Amino acid sequence: MVGKRQSPSGSSSSFASEENQKVHCSCGNYAVVRSVKKGLNSGMKFTAVPYGRWVNQSNPMEDLQYHVLEKETRICELEYEKQCKDDKIKRLQSKKDNLEEDVQEMKNEVYAMRVEMKNCSRNEKNLSMALVFSWIFLSVVLFYLKF
């Protein structure tokens, strides 16, 4: 593929010497000449440096460290959730205690109102009896006054 290239003037030149030259990258490594195998630029040459690691390349120690980190993170999350739930339980317990006190106060008020209603009922009964007796007394007095 990379043999001779013709210039418009008709002369030919060889790039074989350029191909064998070793190119240095700015990182200090030698660059390797490679060809594009797929896509629009298929067959084009480019230089590549084996500088970085591939993403799918894995190190067992790093995998274990990552796994341990994930587990520690999960433990921290669970501890935080537990603390939040404990706090919520304390708040709800306090609220429950306050509501129980309110209910007890209301029960006492209801009992006092029942006692008061019984007393009022007795008073009403007594007053109605007094009214009836007063009318009877009045009618008896009027009856004796006429005769």
Token pair, residue 17, equals: 């010497």
* pLDDT tens across the length of the chain (147 residues): 444 444 444 444 444 444 556 777 777 777 777 888 888 888 888 777 766 655 556 678 888 999 999 999 999 999 999 999 999 999 999 999 999 999 999 999 999 999 999 988 888 888 899 999 999 999 999 998 887
CA nearest to 33, candidates 13, 12, 55, 49: 49
Determine contact, residues 80/74, Cβ cutoff 8 Å.
no
- The residue behind tokens 């007795």 is 122
The residues facing 5 across adjacent strands are 13
Helix (H, G, I), strand (E, B) or coil at 17: helix
Helix (H) or strand (E) holding 4: strand 4-6
